[in-house]
A = this chain, B = another copy of it.
Amino acid sequence: MLLNVIKIGGNVIDDPQKLDKFLLDFSLLPGNKILIHGGGKIATKIAEKLGIETQMVEGRRITDKPMLEVVTMVYGGLVNKQIVASLQSKNCNAIGLTGADGGAILAKKRPVKSIDYGFVGDIEKVNSGFIENLLENGVAPVFAPLTYDIDGNMLNTNADTQASAIAVGMSQNFEVNLVYCFEKKGVLLDAEDDDSVISEIRPDYYEELKASGVIFAGMIPKLDNAFAALEKGVKKVTICQAEQLIEAVKNGNAGTAILR
């Protein structure tokens, strides 16, 4: 059976019109589907107003206890429930979840090495049976980027990684299509030319693109992640623009397809 696992990034979350259009498109996708949403900038804004400082190390947010409370309420409450209520109004029976709900995604607090990231989760286990039961009942799970550990802590979790872990976890019983929606139309041959989308990347070509410097910086962990998901049973990974969701999923003719 087919399952679409869709990840939507923070830039769309921050734009009410774009988000509404995206959720309408998501609601129109037939069959089994799961949404994972990023956080957006609103957590940083609310933390600021509450007098909580956002600490970043090497581009990553440090999640101390007060910041954990902010992301738990903003991602798990405000953003997640607004998405769910909006999907319900679009006739999509969504359910908002964090990893803690139904024991959906168990994680472990990241061990402190050179940097203490604080309450950040490294995923240990996806409870695919629980998620499958929701899908069987026609419910579309909507995940906030949060997990939990066995000690009862909520944990801040990278949404890309969470999407990939869910896709892998569900691939035993489903043919999983993992779609990363971001601001570009796909992986670009020329970073300056938004229309230079590479339609398909397989491992050999990926090595070529990396060697020639076409793919670099932030795109490398994204694609490494995609190939890792394919190794672990995910059928196809697509990287596309949020506006192209329906084309990418239904017709497979938008964005960049990552294939083994």
Contacts and interface: CB of A to CB of B under 8 A. Distances in A.
Given A78-B77, A81-B72, A82-B72, A94 B101 contact: yes
Nearest to A86: B152
Contacts of A151: 89
A95 B88 contact: no
B73 A78 contact: yes
B81 A98 contact: yes
Interface string A93-105: 1111110111100
Interface stretch (A46-54, A173-181, A225-233, A246-254): A46-54
Interface residues of A, number: 44
B50 A81 contact: no
Interface string A151-194: 11110000000000000000000000000000000000000000
Q: Taking the full assembly, how many copies of this chain does it contain?
A: 2
B82 A93 contact: no
Interface residues of A, dominant DSSP: helix
A75 interface: yes
B148 A88 contact: yes
Interface string A60-87: 0000000001001111111011101111
Contacts of A93: 102-103
Nearest to A133: B137
A150 interface: yes
Contacts of A96: 98, 100-101
